[in-house]
Structure 1
């Protein structure tokens, strides 16, 4: 939470208060806001969890349950600011004009370089090494899988079924369960979609590989 969640709140509130959903060309249709965090160098590597907590008003905490480490949902009522701003933008119907938040923690110049290199096979004289953490889908596992791969390597390219890094990787859609006009999943079918189901927050991914955070090191081959 902390300052990152407060920044997300201020940014989103400034957009929501303008009621773009009431504009004539938007009325009667889903309305979403695209968001990325560039507030500080490397901020995309750690601020994602703050956004999820702010939107849904809860976060996952590791607790010991009968001798077993497990992730437990913890409700959050307010942000850590002086105003006591309520957490949970999507916890009530107050913001039903907003259908979803579209977010990416990988929309950087490095993304363009990786995609073009893995699609074309041309490195233009540079080595791109991506370092980060991949979500581990093994039941009960609470930590991600660290990786450090040359993007030109077969191992890296086989992280995705296309055998190259797709533009849509890292793209996430956070759905508002109270939206008057829900955001259609088929608009961004390859994105990772978050929504509420039976009282719980559910995440469904198109790709088996889900990068939690990463950074790319670019070096000259000469």
Structure 2
């Protein structure tokens, strides 16, 4: 039986199911399951454990299926014969990909735990969210770098091809708030810019804040800026998305239930990001939205696949001589998105409930805005 047809056929007792899998499995409507099954069309379970892991640990398998769907969408030739690394892309500009997610630390709330979110969020200011994501992403990057050197480097189908790490954050219930700050720290050491936005069209960059390392809770330090020095030249690039979550499945599906979408997008024509809340029927999102590729300027084998230079995908690299980041970010690139679906399957929610949720989302967006000039540190 094909993987796509097995994903939602239980392979273990319900007590072993991951909460995210259980939520999707228990839905009466089939639309979310259909999207994921479409992503998995053609996927091969090479080690005979993928389906069970999809049901028991979920997030890493979900991320692999998203990547598989992306590669199919881009028309890449995917070789599913080898069981490691996760993907082998064939062709003149082929490359290898190892997928990884950043999980929550042992004592922190997992990504799926939304039950006590209002209470938990008081202990998670934005600074803590970014610091936590930085540590978890750095840990995942280093582990896969070591894995390549120990287990993949000498494989015949890997030699001579760019090695790419594909990473997604599932490190806390607040992953959608980290945008690109944490991954910029990890790869390029860039923490933030200090700027003044004078109006909708004029911005002055006053300074750049870089970080060489970050402190762990036990007092030890974790180095940052892996793509700013040659020690990691074996890693050609990193594919990243913090919006390839179940919310994307919900938006791409034909689910008729009322859904509100709040979002923040890059504005190539002004100083302020594009932020709004819309009903799903008025909002458009592509499979590739939110996908960014970070290139390693020290790469032994650079990633030069032309199919990856899609008008929706963002790219970034570090100019060694100048010590500066160079990026191509398309207009309306998706930085952040969250949704609210009214879960009643057989009736519309009362109008006052819909308006209440819509106003709450708009208020959350507006609270982050200020009057000009806007000083950002």
TM-score (normalizing by structure 1): 0.81
Distance 1:179 1:170 in 2: 24
- Aligned partner of 1:146 among 250, 256, 275: 275
Distance 1:209 1:184 in 2: 24
- 1:120-141: CA deviation from partner (whole Å, max 9, x where unpaired): xxxx4312221021222235x2
What does residue range 36-185 of structure 1 map to in structure 2 within 5 Å? 36-46=168-178, 48-63=180-195, 70=205, 72-81=207-216, 82-117=219-254, 124-138=255-269, 141=271, 143-153=272-282, 156-157=283-284, 165-185=285-305
Indicate the structure whose relative CO is greater, using CA pairs within 8 Å and at least 6 residues apart: 1
| Aligned residue number for residue 15 of structure 1 | 144
TM-score (normalizing by structure 2): 0.50
Distance 1:134 1:71 in 2: 23
Distance 2:195 2:179 in 1: 22
Distance 1:23 1:46, change over 3 A: same
CA contact (8 A) 2:133 2:178 kept: no
Distance 2:162 2:297 in 1: 12
Greater Cα shift, 34-43 or 180-189: 180-189
1:211 and 2:334 aligned: yes
Distance 1:24 1:128, change over 3 A: same
Which has the greater radius of gyration?
A: 2
Distance 1:76 1:2 in 2: 12
| Structure 2: segments with no counterpart, 5+ residues | 1-129, 198-202, 348-377
| Structure 1: segments with no counterpart, 5+ residues | 118-123, 158-164
The structure carrying a bigger helix percent of its residues is 2
RMSD over aligned Cα, in angstroms? Answer: 2.2
